[in-house]
Amino acid sequence: MTMTITKQQIITWLRNSVEEFNTQQDLLTSLDREIGDADHGLNMNRGFQKVNEKLPSLTDKDIGTILKTTGITLLSSIGGASGPLYGTFFIRCASLVAAKEELSLSDLTDMLQGGVDGIKDRGKAEIGDKTMVDTLGGILNSLNMNQSKNVIEAIAIAAEAGSMATKSTIPMIAKKGRASYLGERSIGHQDPGATSASLLFNCLRDAVK
Amino acid sequence: MKKMINKVEDVVKQQLEGFAIAHKELEVSLDPMFIVRKNQSHSKVAIISGGGSGHEPMHGGFVGQGMLDGACPGEMFTSPTPDQMYECGLKAHSGKGVLFLVKNYTGDVLNFETSLELLHAEGIEVQTALIDDDVAVKDSLYTAGRRGVATTVLAEKILGAAAESSYTLEQLSVLAKRIANNGRSFGVGLKACTVPAAGKPSFTLEDNEVEFGVGIHGEPGIERRPYVDCDSLTESMMAEILNNNPYVREVRLWDNSIGDWKTETWTTEPLLKGDKVIVLINNLGATPESELYIVFRKVAETLTEQGITIERSIIGSYCTSLDMQGVSITILNADKEMIALFDRPVKTPSLCWGES
C-alpha cells in the first residue's frame, strides 16, 4: 500500500500543471469570457510558465521550499485575483510542510486545508459562492472521508469529487469576483476559477498514480 | 483580428516601450512594469495607482506633476502584481509616505494590499484609498462590491493636486474617502471590445441591443436592453446615477497605528438639489468624440432639471476599455476644496492645463 508522496512526485505535479495550463488555456479563457474578462487561461499559463523556469533549481529541495517558491512565483506572475489566491494557497501549504521530503495522506490533507484556509482568508469566499473554494472544498471533504485509504486512491477519489464540485458551480449565482457583477446572468456557466482548481488537483492525481 | 499590435504576448511591453520614447520626462521600468516621475522637486506623499492594461490613458497617461507619481500596468485587463507596486513605491517615495489609489476589483485590492504590507515592512508610511463608484452593481453583500471606474480619474487629479500642495497622508485619506462617497458612474456598451489574447469580441450584441451597466473589462453588463436612441439611453443612465438609495459597504483600510487592517463602514452621500458637480463624459474606447457631446447635452439638461449645477466638465477618452464602443457618465458631487484642487495645474501625457 502506497503510504507517501515523494518530493519528486511534487515536482512532477508542478510539471504536469505547467503542461496542463498551457493545453487548457483556451478552455479557461472561454469560460472566463462568459462571466469574466477572458484572461484566466492566459494568466494561469503565464504563471505556470514562470514556475517552469524555477523547477530545475528546485529538484533537490524539500517540499516546503518547492511549494513556497511556486507560491511566490505565481503571486508575482499570474496577476488578477488568481495571483494572490493561488500564491497564498501554495505559500500557506509550504508553511505546513517545511523541510519535509515526503508526505503521508494526512500530511497532504492538513497541508491542503491550510492552503484553502489561506484562500478563504484572502478572498473571503465560502462554498456556494461559485469560486475555486467550491472545488477545493469538495476535494478536502473527500480527502477527510478517505483517510484510511491508500494515498493514490484517496487522491483519485478526491479529484473526482473536485470535478463534480466544479460542475456544481454551473447553476450557482456568483457572489464573489468579477462574475458577481453579472448577478443572475452568471447562472448556467461553469466558474473558471473552480475549473482551474480542478485541473490543478488532477495534475497531482496524475503525478502520483 | 486586425489591431495595431504584433505578437499578443508583447502588447503591453511594446506599448510601454513606445510610451517611454514619447515621454522622456517619465521613467518607464519594464521588469517589473511601472512608470514613475523623474526628478521630483520636493518631498510629498507619493500617489500611486495602477490596474490592468487596456484602460489607457488610465493610469500611465496621468503620471506627472499634479497627478500621479507612479502607475503600475498589469497585463491586459489583469491586476498588476505586488512586486510592481512595491518597486514603484520604493522609487516614488520621497519621505512623506505612499498612497495607493485602488479601484475596487478583487484582484486589484488583493495585489495592492499585499504590496502595502511589503512597503510597510520597509518602514514606509502607507495607506490605500478605494474607488467603488459604478452604480450598476447594486449591493455589496452578495457581490464583490461596486467596480471602480472613471471617478478614479477625477480622484487622481484632485488627490494629485492636494499632494502637490503638501497634504499629509492622513489628509489625503480623508479627502479620498469623500471623493469615493460622492462619485457615481454608469456605463453602456454598444459593441464589445476585443482583447488581443481572446481574438474576438467578449460579447455580441444585435443592432438593437446595448449592454446596460457595463464595466471596463469587457464583461457583460448587468442586463441587455433594447437600443432606442441617445437621449433615452442617456436618460436611463442618469436615472441610475441619480438614484439616491444609500449604498453602504464595509471597506478595508490600513491602520498605521496598529500596523494591520481595519474595517470602516462607508455610505455614498445623496445628490441633492443645489449640489455642484464635476461631470466626466468618458469614451469607453471606440465612440466618436462627437457622440460624447451629444450625450453631455442630455446630461446637462437632466442635471439642470434636478437643480444640480455643473461646475466643471471633462469629455473624452480617460478610462477606456480597449476598443469598446460605449460611454460612461461620472458625476462627482464636488465641494469648494475639490473644485479648487481640480483646477490646479497638471502636467501629464494625457491631462495638461495651467501654469505650474
| CB nearest B217 (choices: A41, A77, A178) | A178
In a mutational test of the A interface, the residue from B11, B72, B102, B110 whose CB has the highest number of chain A CBs within 10 Å is B110
Starting at the edge strand found earlier in the chain, the sheet holding B33-37 runs B26-30, B33-37, B70-76, B46-53, B98-103, B126-131
Distance from CA of A135 to the nearest CA of B (A): 19
Query: Residue B222 and residue A9: Cα distance in Å, rounded?
Result: 45
The fraction of chain B above a pLDDT of 90, given in percent, is: 92
Give me the mean pLDDT over the B85-102 stretch.
Answer: 97
What is the pLDDT at residue B198?
87
State mean pLDDT over B214-220. Answer: 91
Catalytically active residues of B, by annotation: 55, 217
ipTM over 0.90: no
For the segment B8-37, the average pLDDT, to the nearest whole number, is 97
Q: Using CA coordinates, name the residue in chain A closest to B202.
A: A33
From chain B, pick out residues whose CB is under 8 angstroms from the CB of A80. 52, 74, 78-79, 107
Q: What percent of chain B stands above pLDDT 70?
A: 100
User: Which candidate, B313, B307, B302, B317, places its Cα nearest to that of B339?
Assistant: B313
Q: Do the chains contact at A79 and B79, CB–CB below 8 Å?
A: yes
A41-59 mean pLDDT? 97
- Residue B59: asked if its preceding bond is cis (omega within 30°), the reply is yes
Average model confidence (pLDDT) across chain B: 96
Task: Flag whether pLDDT at B40 surpasses 90.
Answer: no
- Quote the CA–CA distance of A207 and A7 in Å, as a whole number: 11
pLDDT for B184 equals 98
Inform me whether the pLDDT recorded for B327 exceeds 80. yes
Who among B78, B136, B202 is closest to A33 (CB)? B202
Indicate whether A97 pLDDT > 90.
yes
For the cut 80, the answer to whether the pLDDT of residue B141 exceeds it is: no
pTM of the model: 0.93
- CA torsion through residues A169, A171, A172, A177, sign: positive
What local confidence, expressed as pLDDT, does residue B30 receive? 98
Of the listed ranges A16-20, A33-37, A84-88, A140-144, the least confidently predicted one is: A33-37
Contacts of B114 in chain A (CB under 8 A): 75, 84
Chain B environment of A43 (Cβ under 8 Å): 75, 78
pLDDT at B356: 67
pLDDT: which is higher, A39 or B81 = B81
Output helix, strand, coil percentages for chain A, rounded to the nearest 5: 75, 5, 25
Distance from CA of A155 to the nearest CA of B (A): 30
Average pLDDT, whole number, for chain A?
95
Closest-approach residue (CA) in chain A for B84: A76
pLDDT for res A3? 86
Q: Measuring CA to CA, which residue among B49, B41, B96 is closest to residue B70?
A: B49
Residues of A in contact with B217 (CB under 8 A): 36-37, 178
From the list B78, B202, B223, which residue is nearest A80 (CB)? B78
Under DSSP, the state recorded for A182 is G
Q: At what angle do helices A40-54 and A192-208 cross, to 10 degrees?
A: 30
State residue B251 phi and psi, 5-degree precision. -120, 135
Distance from C-alpha of B35 to C-alpha of A90, rounded to nearest angstrom: 30
Best residue in B1, B34, B78 for a mutation probing chain A (most A CBs within 10 Å): B78
The residues near B336 (Cβ < 8 Å, ≥ 6 apart) are none
Closest CA to B281 of B315, B326, B241: B315
Residues B292-320 pLDDT 10s: 999 999 999 999 999 999 999 999 999 99
Residue A25 above 70 pLDDT? yes
> Is a pLDDT exceeding 70 seen at residue A1?
no
Task: Confirm or reject contact between A183 and chain B (CB < 8 A).
Answer: yes
Question: What residue in A sits closest to B198 (Cα-Cα)?
Answer: A38
